[in-house]
Amino acid sequence: MGFEYIKELYHDDVDFCTTYEACEVSTKKKFFRHDGFLFKENKLCVPNCLMRELLVREAHEEGINKAL
């Protein structure tokens, strides 16, 4: 899917830029960086971009399809 490009988006993302910078050296609350990606606990933080919209849409559609 090409997740590598989201590493560049953290620096300008309103949701994650401050946390991403703060986690450069150590963890911040439940956030940490690994291989240039930002995680909260075991979940990948996806900056506000088209991929985020697609992932959210897919997750919601998957839930709806399972309910049917």
Number of domains in the chain: 1
- The 3-state DSSP class for residue 53 equals helix
The pLDDT value given to residue 58:
86
The pLDDT value given to residue 2:
72
- Going by C-alpha positions, the residue among 7, 53, 8 that lies closest to residue 34 is 7
Rg (CA), the chain: 14
What amino acid occupies position 8? E
The two three-digit tokens of residue 31, written as one number: 């956030």
The pLDDT value given to residue 65:
56
The pLDDT value given to residue 1:
55
The pLDDT value given to residue 17:
95
pTM (2 d.p.): 0.78
> How far, in whole angstroms, is CA 32 from its chain's centroid?
11
For residue 55, the enclosing domain spans: 3-67
> Which residues of the chain are modeled with pLDDT < 50?
67-68
